[in-house]
Structure 1
Amino acid sequence: MSELQKATFAGGCFWCMVTPFEELPGIHGIVSGYTGGHIKNPTYEQVKTGNTGHYEVVEITFDPSLFAYEKLLELYWPQTDPTDDGGQFQDRGTQYRTAIFYHNEEQQELALQSKVELAASGRFTQPIVTEILPASVFYPAEEYHQDYHKKNPKHYKEDREQSGRDEFIDSNWQQS
């Protein structure tokens, strides 16, 4: 068994960023949380103000011998609007921006390469604004945010339907 690694992705509301990655071989855990800000141990109430500098993120623990980082990137991009620097879908503010936080040089190179490839693909007419940033201290979100889609399926479904995320994904990421 190879050594487990971390991958950290910001794609708007962290509730919606869990399901694309869960229950896949080689994925050992997904934790919703916060990173990139300037205060220690932020709470959801603090982060949602947009004043802490944190992003809502998912931190994925994975076995790269079973699930390559490139595959994680391939799953990440279609969950987002990579051209929106003001948040994602109905969730507006700096805490909902997109970013890929790399944990080592290989992840940095692969993330940058994937961003360049997406920009060159012609899929979007606007620039790809998703940032590629070094991973920093990760703070797990409060317990009620973990696996929110399983604990509160009705509210999760309603929130996701209202967000516009699925419509955007369907109209911009369908494979041709």
Structure 2
Amino acid sequence: MTRIAFPDFIKPSLLFALIALAAPLRATPAPAAGTETLTVAGGCFWCVESDFESVPGVIGAVSGYTGGKTANPTYDQVTKGGTGHYEAVQITFDPARVSREKLLNMFFRSVDPTDAGGQFCDRGNSYRTAIFVSNTGEKTLAQQAKADAQRALGQSVVTPILQQGTFYPAEAYHQDYYKGTKLVLTRFGPKRQHSAYKAYRKACGRDARVKQLWGSAAPFAGS
């Protein structure tokens, strides 16, 4: 699938896709002792990573791909479709500082969980929302957060809760894109990555839609 939004607007990184052609096999490092992970899909992984790395108690977030069957997928493969993978983010957090329940509630209020076809300007299966769980306890918490979001919205929440499979970190140029300083070419001309990210996020309408849905309960809109 390709991103469809404002005419001719695409992620700046697509113009540098050749960087990924020789990408090595990627593996997710094991979480540090005393930490936990939460894996979610919320559309553009740049945005989800940026949002959750701002949360006290979150140690870090990694953009990647999960939910499909293709091993070591590339960004190009995932966005074209056919791999079954979602653009996702694996969040590592300290449960003594921030709970899984809080992160799940923040996640629902940072996306449009009523949209089954993608998120904001990004359309296609790889941009749908999802929560990935690895055991019954995590599944129960995710179900409770989903039910709470549905009650709060008064609308049907379509975000699925899926069994966690292999998480493949995305290419290096996607990680921490929102604060990168590399000069990239965009629809708006040459920009540093952090500026290109802000322009993309605004043009995609992410914060505007989240504010429309969640109002003052939206934790990241406008960040």
TM-score normalised according to structure 2 size: 0.74
| Secondary structure of residue in 2 paired with 1:80 | coil
Which string of whole-angstrom CA distances, capped at 9 and with x for unpartnered residues, describes residues 11-66 of structure 1? 00101101221143322220000001111000001001121100000001111122
| Match in the other structure for 1:28 | 59
Cα pair 1:4 1:64 within 8 Å, conserved: yes
| Match in the other structure for 1:55 | 86
Cα pair 1:55 1:96 within 8 Å, conserved: yes
| Structure 1 letter corresponding to 2:50 | T
2:200 paired with 1:159 = yes
Cα pair 2:109 2:214 within 8 Å, conserved: yes
Q: Which moved more, 1:29-38 or 1:96-105?
A: 96-105
TM-score normalised according to structure 1 size: 0.93
- Stretches (4+) displaced over 6 A: none
How many angstroms does 1:115 deviate by?
A: 0.8
Cα pair 1:33 1:57 within 8 Å, conserved: yes
Which string of whole-angstrom CA distances, capped at 9 and with x for unpartnered residues, describes residues 75-124 of structure 1? 10111110111000000000000001113322110110111122223x24
Counterpart of 2:104 (choices 69, 73, 98) is: 73
| Match in the other structure for 1:148 | 177
| Secondary structure of residue in 1 paired with 2:201 | helix
| Secondary structure of residue in 2 paired with 1:128 | coil
User: Which whole-Å CA distance do the structure 2 matches of 1:120 and 1:107 have between them?
Assistant: 20
Instruction: State how 1:1-176 maps to structure 2 within 5 Å.
Output: 3-121=34-152, 123-125=153-155, 127-151=156-180, 152-175=193-216
Q: Percent identity?
A: 49
Cα pair 1:12 1:96 within 8 Å, conserved: yes
Q: How many residues align?
A: 174
| Secondary structure of residue in 2 paired with 1:7 | strand
- CA-atom RMSD, angstroms? 1.6
**Structure 1: gaps of 5 or more residues:** none
Structure label with greater radius of gyration: 2
| Match in the other structure for 2:13 | none
- 1:172–1:23 distance in 2 versus 1, CA, 3 Å: closer
User: Which whole-Å CA distance do the structure 1 matches of 2:205 and 2:55 have between them?
Assistant: 25
